[in-house]
């Protein structure tokens, strides 16, 4: 059975929701960030990166949210969580998810994880000040050019919507002005109303 290592309010929420939307049989195991469990010897054996998500599969451990989401979509095709029959559309979905992973999420990480890039307190403060601007710019691009509507890929709900919803949980905390992102906010509300999403949010609360 699939097993997801997660921590609440993190990017692992996307993988959790995808498993639920897919109707997969899975278990979850919480990683306690307050106790720095992600860097414990035991967890580093699961994921040497010291991060969540990590999905244990029959084939081995899978990390990196875009890869985990694509794996879930491909493993449970009946759930139609990605355009699996259209090579280009699938690549577009991957492009969207890669943008969230490599640009939007990394911009967000400068708020809490500045020590990855600098050592001076003044550098951390500077990075934090930039968060509304850098995270806001990434979301502005999604709002203007990437979210086709009603769902990210157009008419069909997909892993892209799950991932965008997960990143959009951080908007208020990152100080981004919601008034500038009406489509993203409307999208977030519609994803939040899905039964699978409600169930996962309750499970992680
Ligand atoms: N590129 C990875 C990023 C994973 C990642 O950074 N996860 C964060 C939570 S959102 C984490 O585990 N942070 C723990 C730490 O930095 O100690 C992905 O998309 O899965």
The ranges assigned to domains in the chain are 2-80+199-204, 87-193
Superfamily of domain 2-80+199-204: Glutaredoxin (3.40.30.10)
- Mean pLDDT over 77-97 rounds to 98
CA 166 to chain centre: 5
Residue among 17, 49, 51 whose CB has most ligand 1 atoms within 8 A, to mutate: 51
What pLDDT score does 31 carry?
Answer: 98
Closest Cα partner for 105 from 147, 56, 64?
A: 64
Q: What value does the mean pLDDT of the chain take?
A: 97
> Which atom of ligand 1 approaches the CA of 64 most closely?
20
Segment holding 195, helix H or strand E: helix 195-204
Pocket test for ligand 1, best of 52, 94, 110, 164 (most atoms within 8 A of CB): 52
Distance CA 122, CA 105 (A): 22
Distance 175 CA to ligand 1 centre (A): 20
Give percent of the chain with pLDDT exceeding 70: 100
| Residue 36, pLDDT score | 97
- Helix%, strand%, coil% for the chain, nearest 5: 60, 10, 30
Q: What CATH number has the domain spanning 87-193?
A: 1.20.1050.10
Flag whether the pTM goes above 0.85: yes
* Pocket of ligand 1, beta carbon within 6 A: 10-11, 38, 50-53, 64-65, 101, 105, 113
């Amino acid at each position: 059975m699939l097993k997801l290592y997660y921590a609440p309010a993190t990017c692992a929420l996307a993988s959790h929701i995808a498993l639920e939307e897919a109707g997969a049989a899975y278990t979850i195991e919480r990683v306690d960030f307050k106790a720095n469990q992600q860097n414990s010897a035991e967890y580093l054996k699961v994921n040497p990166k010291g991060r969540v998500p990590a999905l244990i599969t029959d084939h081995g451990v899978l990390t990196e949210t875009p890869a985990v989401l694509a794996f879930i979509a491909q493993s449970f095709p009946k759930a139609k969580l990605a355009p699996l029959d259209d090579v280009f559309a699938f690549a577009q979905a991957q492009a969207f998810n890669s943008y969230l992973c490599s640009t939007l999420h990394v911009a967000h990480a400068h708020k809490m994880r500045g020590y990855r890039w600098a050592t001076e307190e003044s550098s951390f403060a500077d990075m934090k000040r930039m968060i509304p601007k850098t995270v806001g710019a990434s979301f502005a691009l999604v709002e203007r050019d990437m979210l086709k509507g009603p769902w990210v890929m157009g008419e069909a709900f997909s892993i892209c919507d799950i991932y965008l919803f997960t990143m959009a949980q951080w908007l208020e905390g990152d100080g981004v002005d919601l008034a500038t992102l009406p489509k993203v906010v409307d999208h977030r509300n519609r994803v939040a109303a899905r039964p699978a999403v409600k169930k996962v949010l309750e499970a992680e609360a």
